[in-house]
Amino acid sequence: MFPGYLFAHQAMTKTAHVEMLKARGLVRILGQRWDSLTPVPDAEIEALRHVAAADVAAMPHPYLREGQRMRVTHGALAGVEGIFVRSRPRQGMLVLSIELLQQSVAVELDCTAVTPVGALLAAPSGPGLHAA
């Protein structure tokens, strides 16, 4: 879903960090040092895992900061949350974002499969983009 990125979930030791740095094609690991890495929030990773397990087509989508947060209520993606973008009268796309990377993917859904989670999300204040 995110070409060029590998998400690893493990306890990081200095030795493990050095071994990861040896991986072919690895550009860098996000964070300052081996003992202060920058994690991707579990909720963002779980949403991506759910999409991968559901075997639905996920396509690249421009990164979104604002929009109506929705939760899928039924079907293969039940429980997944993201920003819903209506594309046709009864169809839309649920956009899942990795904030740290400032990248998103989208899956197509029927409008009846989602329900609002809360109020509109506002763009975060403060400094702009995170380096990745």
Q: Which CATH class is domain 42-116?
A: mainly beta
Residue 80: both structure tokens together = 């997944």
Tens of pLDDT along the chain (132 residues) come to 888 787 888 788 889 888 888 888 887 788 777 887 888 999 999 999 999 999 899 999 999 888 889 999 999 999 999 999 988 888 999 999 999 989 999 999 998 999 998 644 454 444 443 333
Q: What is the reported pLDDT for 1?
A: 86
Beta strands in 46-90 (DSSP E): 59-61, 68-72, 81-88
Q: What is the pLDDT of residue 38?
A: 85
User: How many other CB atoms are found less than 10 A from the CB of residue 92?
Assistant: 20
- Phi and psi, residue 5, nearest 5°: -120, 140
- Checking DSSP bridges between strand 59-61 and strand 68-72, what pairing results, if any? unpaired
Contacts 24+ apart (CB under 8 A), 127-130: 129/102, 130/38, 130/99, 130/100, 130/101, 130/102
Report yes or no: 38 and 31 within 8 Å, Cβ to Cβ.
yes
Residue 20 pLDDT: 85
